[in-house]
Amino acid sequence: MALLPYGRVPYPLGLPGRSISVIEAVARPAAPPLDGLIAAALAAPLGSAPLETLAPPGARVTVIVSDGTRVEPRAAFLSAVRARLPAVRWTIAIATGTHGPAAIDELGLPAELVAEATVVNHDGHRSEHLVQVGVTSRGTPVRLHRCVLDADLVIATGCIRPHYFAGFGAGVKAIFPGLGEATAIRINHALKTEPGARAGVLDGNPCREDLAEAVGLVPTPTFLLNGVCAPDGAIHAVVAGGVDTAFRAGAALARTWFSATAPRAPIVVASDALPVTATLYQAAKIAAATADLVEPGGVLVLVAECPEGIGPLDVVNEAVFGIGVLPRLASGVTLKLVSSLSREEVATTRLEYAASVADAIRGISGPVVVVPRASQLIIEASS
């Protein structure tokens, strides 16, 4: 019996008589204290002058933090930045991308810092606070929240982890798509269909290169403060400095920690913990990460509680699974979902309902590959 990360409680997986391979990353030593990692990174920025020299007293500084779809130490990032820039006027911007406004009370932002800042709870579906910056060479219109353009310095925070079509999360993603217009973000995300748009890939990844070009159009000076996660979810390193130089250094570390090799199989079971499995919209990440492992005619079973539902149905069906997952699957592969959603709800999606993993694979023979933290791996098929 194995316990898979699932949602609020683990999912018990028992498949007696089956040949099972469990794919996990190599365990790392315990993570060092976070405050020390942040302090060391800010003391030795990569590709940038020290943070405290970039914003004189009275300067307008926008610090971007992620919304609740990411587990991140927002308070630690904000406190460290504030300690080095005590006399600036600052804005805290919540990077929500296409998700819509966040529940700010659930983000763990320090009350004393929020009280002295302007807080922008970004809504990429509303145009009144958006400014047109330009258009990338791939045709993505760059429309950003005004707080990016009105600042004297923008500080992008986040955590570097694999991202199924942008290569890695964090970096410039805090700015765009984080504070971008929803329609413009969708145009960029359509690049996920290109061959190079894969987890762990930066150079030659059209989606990531388009994001970098988009942020390169922003005239405001920028500074990066990113944690580098390992598959255990903890931050094992921190990088700071230039948005490209520091990010690439962090991504190089993350790539070594998250890479894994797995055999192809007729049955693949993929799961992950919250918040990745909070909605089907987010759970698509575990499908994309494991799609290449499923043999033609096989089944990919997503074990995702989805306690917050499906997400915007048309977006989930077309923009997420339609162009981001299904094209990665071999011919004849079936997608099935084990979740808390009803049969009727699942029937509206691109997936098939399954009451359990055993139910999902009934009648299908052959070995089973299980990937418990699928979104946390850069997986290469071994055969």
Summarize pLDDT for 172-186 with one digit per residue, the tens: 999 999 999 999 999
Mean per-residue pLDDT for 252-279? Answer: 95
Mean pLDDT of the chain: 95
Mean per-residue pLDDT for 10-32? Answer: 92
Predicted local confidence at residue 69, as pLDDT? 85
Q: Which residues contact 94 (CB under 8 A, 6 or more apart)?
A: 64, 65, 66, 67, 101, 102, 104, 107, 119, 120, 121, 122
The CA distances from residue 40 to 30, 74, 227, in Å, are 18, 17, 12
Q: Which residues contact 362 (CB under 8 A, 6 or more apart)?
A: none
Query: Percent of the chain having pLDDT more than 70?
Result: 100
Predicted local confidence at residue 194, as pLDDT? 92
Over 90: is that where the pLDDT of 38 sits?
Answer: yes
pLDDT tens for residues 308-320?
Answer: 999 999 999 998 9
pLDDT bracket for residue 1 (50, 70, 90) = confident
pLDDT tens for residues 341-351?
Answer: 999 999 999 99
- How far is Cα 162 from Cα 276, in angstroms, rounded to an integer? 12
- How far is Cα 355 from Cα 337, in angstroms, rounded to an integer? 8
User: Which one is the CATH code of 2-26+263-381: 3.40.50.2300, 3.90.226.30, 3.30.420.40, 3.30.70.120?
Assistant: 3.90.226.30
- How far is Cα 178 from Cα 94, in angstroms, rounded to an integer? 8
Give the pTM.
0.86
Over 80: is that where the pLDDT of 71 sits?
Answer: yes
**Strand 162-163 to 167-168 pairing:** antiparallel
Domain ranges of the chain: 2-26+263-381, 34-257
Mean per-residue pLDDT for 26-45? Answer: 96
pLDDT bracket for residue 286 (50, 70, 90) = very high
- Domains 2-26+263-381 and 34-257 fall in the same CATH topology: no
Q: Which residues contact 331 (CB under 8 A, 6 or more apart)?
A: 296, 297
Predicted local confidence at residue 17, as pLDDT? 87
pLDDT bracket for residue 2 (50, 70, 90) = confident
Over 70: is that where the pLDDT of 245 sits?
Answer: yes
**Strand 222-229 to 235-241 pairing:** antiparallel
**Which of 46-50, 108-112, 209-213, 353-357 comes out lowest in average pLDDT?**
108-112
One-letter amino acid identity for 177?
Answer: P
Over 70: is that where the pLDDT of 383 sits?
Answer: no
Pair 167, 382: CB distance under 8 Å: no
Mean per-residue pLDDT for 242-254? Answer: 98
Predicted local confidence at residue 376, as pLDDT? 83
End-to-end CA, the chain: 27
CATH classification (class only), 34-257: alpha beta
Question: Where are any strands of DSSP class E within the chain?
Answer: 2-4, 11-13, 20-22, 60-66, 89-95, 118-121, 130-135, 141-145, 153-160, 162-163, 167-168, 222-229, 235-241, 259-262, 265-271, 294-303, 334-338, 352-353, 368-371, 378-381
Higher-pLDDT residue of 1 and 303 is: 303
